[in-house]
Amino acid sequence: MPILGSHQSIAGGHHRAVQRAGALGFDCVQLFTASPRSLGSGGARVGKPAARAAAISAEQAAKFRDALRQCRVGHPLAHDGYLINLASPDARLWDASVRAFVEEFRRAEALGIPYVVTHPGSYTDGTPRQGVRRICRALDRVHRQTRGMTVGCLLETTAGQGTSLGWRFEHLAWILDGVREPDRLGVCFDTCHVFAAGYPLGTREEYEETIACLDAAVGLGRVKAFHLNDSAREWGSRVDRHAHIGRGHMGLEPFRLLLRDPRFQAVPMYLETPKGQEGGVDFDAINLKTLRDLAAAPNAPSNRKGRSRV
């Protein structure tokens, strides 16, 4: 069976995210290790002196590890903050982003989290190649400043809004080829983003075509995590809007194919679907049941909205 989890809030402490995931029946958990809307503790913003992000205390780390063990939740995954842009041509934002990303690594290392997921970044102006070169310089600096740590970085596939990089698998390949320590990098495959970027997923043939493209670009061994999200926008829209599983434009079949793919049974998968309730039931629980039902389904479901090229 696939390893299924979700992104959970750290309100009340990092260990609370684990407890929330465990209470809902998840196998794994993703979380922010600090406020995602700041480049440092105290709300530091670009153009202001950068405040160093709050370090993880020994007590916080112990509570987090204890919660993982007690709740039988594994594969913790960190997601970086929204303001980090390693591709930025703005020198101040680029520098602040690098420093903030180093702090992301330090917090993940303290908590025992093996990977930090990041969107590669937006190049804003110029060319994609120029943006990729800035990402590579940024990652090289981060790797130098975190030498000796075990934590690595997962480059997330993106939907392709604006000048964001990572919506083509080749972008990820360029980054892997351009950094000095590629062994510290992996890939996080987001289903909504890949669908919105224009990769087909709706039938077995289309799914296999897309996975083959991914394999050719980066190698399937690089894929260390999946984000499971349906898309609120149509195929190829290049708009990042998540929807509940089976309730967006993707439908259920892409998820069934992925969940039953023997190549990915050991790769953890995390929901990032909208929070809330329906009929008094947590949407995370509803989505988890949908996924587990699909993982057990040998045949295609009747919901086939995700036929990508229609």
> What residues act catalytically?
37, 79, 82, 119, 156, 190, 193, 227, 240, 242, 272
Q: What is the CA radius of gyration of the chain?
A: 19
Residues in contact with 111: Cβ distance below 8 Å, sequence separation at least 6, in sequence order: 14, 33, 56, 60, 61, 64, 65, 76, 78
Distance CA 90, CA 95 (A): 9
Residue 2: left if φ>0, alpha if ψ -120 to 50, beta else—which one? Answer: beta
Structure tokens, 101: 């990303």
47 conformational bin, left if phi > 0, alpha if psi -120 to 50, beta if neither: left
Tokens describing residue 161: 């809004």
CA dihedral 34, 36, 38, 39 (to 10 degrees): 80
Gap between the Cα atoms of 156 and 190, Å rounded: 7
Give Dmax (Cα) for the chain: 57
Report d(CA 240, CA 222) in Å as an integer. Answer: 23
Please give the Cα distance from 198 to 192 (Å, whole number): 10
